[in-house]
Structure 1
Amino acid sequence: MSMYRNTVWFLNGIHHYTRKGYEVAAKDFDPQHLNVSVVGRSFMITGANSGIGKATAMAVAKRGGTVHMVCRNRDRAEEAREDIIYESGNTEVYVHIVDLSETRKVWEFAKDFEMQYSSLNVLINNAGCIVHKREMTADGLEKNFATNTMGAYILTQTLIPLLQKSRDPRVITVSSGGMLVQKLRVDDLQSEKGYFDGIMVYAQNKRQQVVLTQQWAKANPLIHFSVMHPGWVNTPAVATSMPQFHHMMGERLRSVEQGADTVVWLALCRAASRSRSGQFFEDRCPVPTHLPLAWTHSSLQDVESFMSQLETLAEDILSQPEEEHNGPMTSAAPQFV
């Protein structure tokens, strides 16, 4: 079955995920959808110093939005901030240094942000990683899972109250079409069983993000949630983590602006927020979250188990004594329900 999934996915990708696929889809885009001003609206973008994140931050800044760049490396973040300010002429661009793999620090950052700022209109979960060898974080989580799933989970859950206070709140998560080859594995969330394949672990994390988005949408009707696939994009992350694929695809890869287009559309376009919450998007259109006959659907029990395990992991980490994390807690550990 995995061979079938991989083959169907790759053939579909050649037609739809490449630069040519974007150019074909873009013929149906309404150019007025992004002809908007977002002055007065605030946007938080994780992984905003390069690739799709930076392209998204640039697009938002050019339209007058306030941009909060959440990045891991200060030097790269400040350099990207300078580029965005110079090209957009918008000085309302701020840098926050957070490593999304550090669960407690993500939570502390989100709580501090909530106290400092009165509103947040849009959260864009873009940061991600592919680590090819099993590596554990200080919180005891596998690093891909910690960054791609738990980081987005903790940040979003903690910021939901602030988003709910805001006008037209939205949460967009940058997933991957690679998740289509994976079924949610509730008995092995952190890839402890069998051979460790970083690419497949990443794809599993991206499936987890899709399930998370669907569950967030059901639980939080005041916020519009969406998850998207940017296509196959020529980013520094792809070049570093998937060098063979990057070389093989070459000029067929999308530009970062093309990869970011649907993120920007979901974040800025009025029509986007009128679509049904919780959907998976590709080139501005909702698309299925499963390949035909691929047997990747999950039962209600599996989804409930997944959400329960995330809640338990989060509560366990955030309730540990503060000295175990080299810093004071900012407030009592939350209950994720």
Structure 2
Amino acid sequence: MSYYRNAIWFVKGLREYTRSGYEAAAKHFIDSDLDLDVSSRSFVITGANSGIGKATALEIAKRGGTVHMVCRNKERADEAKKQIVEQSKNENVHVHIVDMLSPRGLWEFVNNFTQNHSVHVLINNAGCMVNQRELTENGLEKNFATNTLGTFILTTALIPVLKKSQDPRVITVSSGGMLVQKLNLDDLQFEKGTFDGTMAYAQNKRQQVIMTEVWARQHKEIHFSSMHPGWADTPAVRSSMPDFYAKMKDKLRTEAQGADTVVWLALADAAVKHPSGLFFQDRTPVATHLPLAFTRSSSSEENEFMNMLERLNTQLRQCPTSAL
């Protein structure tokens, strides 16, 4: 079954996820959707110092939005901020140094941030693909800690603040790679069998889509969405998937093309006319499962998954410096 899923997905990717796939889809975009002034709105963007996150931050800043860049590395973040301010002529760009794999760092960030700032849109873009199984200081597998638990902690912590805003939105940058994975409750942190960083990442991205769907059911006041940026030429792809990059580099999307749907979901009135909780590709909601791939999970499995994350969050709050 995994061979079938991977083969179907790759054929689909060659047709849809490449630069030519974007160019074909873009012929149907409505340019006026992004002809906006969002100077009254505040945006929190994780992983905003490079790649799709930086391209998203720049497009929002160009339209006047207040941008809060949540980044791990201060030097790279400050340089990215400088470039964004120069290109957008918007001084309302702020850097916050937070590591998404650190629960304590995320709790402290939200506590400090919400005392001084409002937020209208949260964009969960930060991610990692570690190709060897490595653990955080809390004993969490690094891909899971960053992509899944970090996204869960930050989003749930900001939901009460988002609900106080007008037209609040949460966008999570997932991946079409999640189509090859079914939610696996028995091994959330990849402790069994041979570790495969690419498949761990794909499982995390499936988990993000499920989180989005569940949050949409639970919090009707907020518009949630997840999306696939396509195969884009980003520093993360070059470093984490060098073989894929070498083979596909001439077909990859630009960072701006990868960010287009994120920006559209964050800004456009047309985006929130769609139901909350959907998965988007090139400004269009698309299926979250391949035909005959048997990747669907039940509502009870999805609820148990969310409960597992909440239990982890609670345990880490009680013992923030101990390994689980």
- Aligned mates of 1:239, 1:305 — CA distance in 2: 35
What secondary structure sits across from 2:185 in the alignment? coil
- Aligned mates of 2:107, 2:8 — CA distance in 1: 39
Length-normalised TM-score, structure 2: 0.98
Amino acid in structure 1 at the alignment position of 2:271: A
What secondary structure sits across from 1:276 in the alignment? coil
- Aligned mates of 2:208, 2:220 — CA distance in 1: 18
- Aligned mates of 2:132, 2:96 — CA distance in 1: 28
Runs of 4+ in 1 over 2 A off after TM superposition: none
Match of 1:167 in 2: 166
> How far off its partner does 1:114 sit?
1.3
Amino acid in structure 1 at the alignment position of 2:308: Q
Match of 1:224 in 2: 223
What secondary structure sits across from 2:226 in the alignment? strand
What secondary structure sits across from 1:70 in the alignment? strand
Listed one character per residue, the Cα deviations across residues 290-310 of structure 1 (whole Å, up to 9, x for unaligned) are 000000000122112211110
Q: Percent identity?
A: 61
| 1:19 pairs with 2:19 | yes
| 1:104 pairs with 2:96 | no
> How far off its partner does 1:50 sit?
0.3
- Aligned mates of 2:276, 2:8 — CA distance in 1: 27
Listed one character per residue, the Cα deviations across residues 202-249 of structure 1 (whole Å, up to 9, x for unaligned) are 000000000000000000000000000000000000000000000100
Amino acid in structure 1 at the alignment position of 2:38: V
- Aligned mates of 2:193, 2:103 — CA distance in 1: 25
> How far off its partner does 1:107 sit?
1.6
Match of 1:283 in 2: 282
- Aligned mates of 1:9, 1:168 — CA distance in 2: 34
- Aligned mates of 2:110, 2:192 — CA distance in 1: 32
What secondary structure sits across from 2:249 in the alignment? helix
| 1:57 pairs with 2:57 | yes
Match of 2:2 in 1: 2
Match of 2:210 in 1: 211
Amino acid in structure 2 at the alignment position of 1:17: Y
| 1:297 pairs with 2:300 | no
Match of 2:307 in 1: 308
- Aligned mates of 2:245, 2:261 — CA distance in 1: 21
- Aligned mates of 1:26, 1:285 — CA distance in 2: 11
What secondary structure sits across from 2:205 in the alignment? helix
What secondary structure sits across from 1:135 in the alignment? coil
Amino acid in structure 1 at the alignment position of 2:151: A
Listed one character per residue, the Cα deviations across residues 47-67 of structure 1 (whole Å, up to 9, x for unaligned) are 000000000000000000000
What secondary structure sits across from 1:76 in the alignment? helix
- Aligned mates of 1:152, 1:111 — CA distance in 2: 16
- Aligned mates of 1:39, 1:203 — CA distance in 2: 36
What secondary structure sits across from 1:13 in the alignment? helix
> How far off its partner does 1:154 sit?
0.3
Q: How does 1:1-337 map onto structure 2 within 5 Å? A: 1-117=1-117, 119-320=118-319, 324=321
Amino acid in structure 2 at the alignment position of 1:137: T
Match of 1:328 in 2: none
- Aligned mates of 1:274, 1:75 — CA distance in 2: 39
- Aligned mates of 2:96, 2:219 — CA distance in 1: 26
- Aligned mates of 2:196, 2:143 — CA distance in 1: 11
- Aligned mates of 1:108, 1:277 — CA distance in 2: 29
Amino acid in structure 2 at the alignment position of 1:27: K
- Aligned mates of 1:166, 1:85 — CA distance in 2: 25
Amino acid in structure 2 at the alignment position of 1:239: R
> How far off its partner does 1:147 sit?
0.3
- Aligned mates of 1:308, 1:44 — CA distance in 2: 25
**Structure 2 residues not aligned, in runs of 5+:** none
Length-normalised TM-score, structure 1: 0.95
- Aligned mates of 1:37, 1:243 — CA distance in 2: 39
Cα RMSD (Å): 0.8
- Aligned mates of 1:116, 1:296 — CA distance in 2: 42
